Amino acid sequence: MIIRLVRPDELTALQELELAAGRCFHEVGMPEIAGDEPLPLDELARYRRAELAWVAVDPATGGPAAYLLAEPVDGNLHVEQVSVHPDHARRGVGRALLDHLAALAAAQGVPALTLTTFAEVPWNAPYYARCGFLPLAESELGPGLREIRAREAAHGLDRWPRLAMRRALCGPAQL
């Protein structure tokens, strides 16, 4: 699967993909998450303009099968969103996006990837642990991650156990 930067004409497709990917939260008793609105087009466009939005391209259709958004937080790259369309789930597409981001970040000397996630959802924290992310204690959170966690709590996400995770990266000389 080809991974590349998001094109301007794909933003609506990313919203549709996020809605489709979110439906699986019904299976784990989280209908509020399943029904959450996707990111607004202007916010998706901001990530795209900053070149912090990538898609994994479906070889059959040429359209997005999955996407990842990232942003600099506390000197690391923070994975803001990973969404994989259910038709492409459990095929390594999400991992490929994470590995792509890790390689780009390491080449730029970024020390780590971070993310926040649901602790008990199988395709969240347990999955990210298999992708090399380790849980962070509250005392290990920088100011940016603390702010993200506060926004999540204000949005009601702390109704379910959440945590921040970190994946250390090797520098360009060690790749």
Per-residue pLDDT of the chain (175 residues; tens, 9 = 90+): 899 999 999 999 999 999 998 888 888 888 788 788 889 999 999 999 999 999 999 988 889 999 999 999 999 999 999 999 888 888 889 999 999 999 999 999 999 999 999 988 888 899 999 999 999 999 999 999 999 999 999 988 888 889 999 999 975 444 3
pLDDT of residue 166: 97
Could you tell me if 44 and 5 are in contact, meaning their C-beta atoms sit under 8 angstroms apart?
Answer: no
pLDDT of residue 171: 55
Token pair listed for 170: 């090797």
Local structure of 64: helix, strand or coil? strand
Distance between CA atoms of residues 75 and 109, nearest Å: 10
Local structure of 13: helix, strand or coil? helix
Q: Record the pTM.
A: 0.92
pLDDT of residue 129: 95
Q: Closest by alpha carbon to 18, among 32, 37, 3? A: 37
Could you tell me if 54 and 5 are in contact, meaning their C-beta atoms sit under 8 angstroms apart?
Answer: yes
Quick one: residue 75, left, alpha or beta (phi over 0 = left, psi -120 to 50 = alpha)? Answer: left
In order of start, what are the domains of the chain with their CATH numbers?
A: 2-174 (3.40.630.30)
Segment (H or E) for 43: helix 41-49
Separation in Å, CA 94 to CA 82, 140, 171, 173: 7, 26, 22, 26
In 102-140, which positions are buried (b, 16+ CB within 10 angstroms) versus exposed (e)? bebbbeeebebbbbbbbeebebbbebbeebbbeebeeee
